[in-house]
């Protein structure tokens, strides 16, 4: 797997989120994907989190500010637009890619934990 493959997986994830394409999660994430921030497994857990966030903030959009790729891992700093009263929240996400799909994700966000996608 090349750095370009890892970068492409990241770009697919953010494009799917911004398009509110929840079905794409099955192509973006591995079947055994694990999200450390959500303590959840599988693409459906991502689709549910995205859906909750979009229901609360229909205009939310993620913009990639920086991306560093090394081996099968990417670190991405993003800003979020369309969340009233929050300015431009930032996220730092790291993820591991396997066979062109995201297999594992770690993340930090400046959004309060009560924001719908970050609470269960």
Write the pLDDT tens digit of every residue in 80-95. 999 988 788 999 999 9
What pLDDT is recorded for position 58? 95
Count other C-beta atoms under 10 Å from residue 36's C-beta.
12
Cβ-in-10-Å burial (0-12, 13-18, 19+) of 86 comes to middle
Domain boundaries, the chain: 3-118
Q: What is the pLDDT of residues 1-52, one digit of tens each?
A: 899 999 999 999 999 999 999 999 999 999 999 999 999 999 999 999 999 9
Q: Find the Cα–Cα–Cα–Cα dihedral 38, 35, 46, 119, rounded to 10°.
A: 10
pLDDT-derived band at 120, boundaries 50, 70, 90: very low
* CATH number given to 3-118: 3.10.450.50
- Top pLDDT among 35 and 113 is at 35
């Amino acid at each position: 797997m090349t750095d370009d493959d890892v970068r492409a997986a990241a770009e697919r994830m953010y494009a799917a989120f911004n398009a509110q394409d929840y079905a794409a999660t099955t192509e973006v994430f591995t079947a055994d994907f694990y999200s450390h921030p959500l303590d959840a497994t599988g693409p459906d857990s991502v689709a549910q989190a995205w859906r909750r966030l979009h229901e609360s903030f229909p205009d939310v959009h993620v913009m990639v500010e920086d991306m560093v790729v090394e081996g099968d891992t990417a670190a991405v700093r993003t800003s979020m637009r369309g969340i009233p009263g929050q300015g431009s929240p930032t996220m730092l996400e790291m993820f591991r890619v396997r066979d062109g799909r995201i297999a594992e994700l770690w993340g930090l966000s400046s959004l309060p934990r009560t924001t719908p996608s970050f609470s269960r």
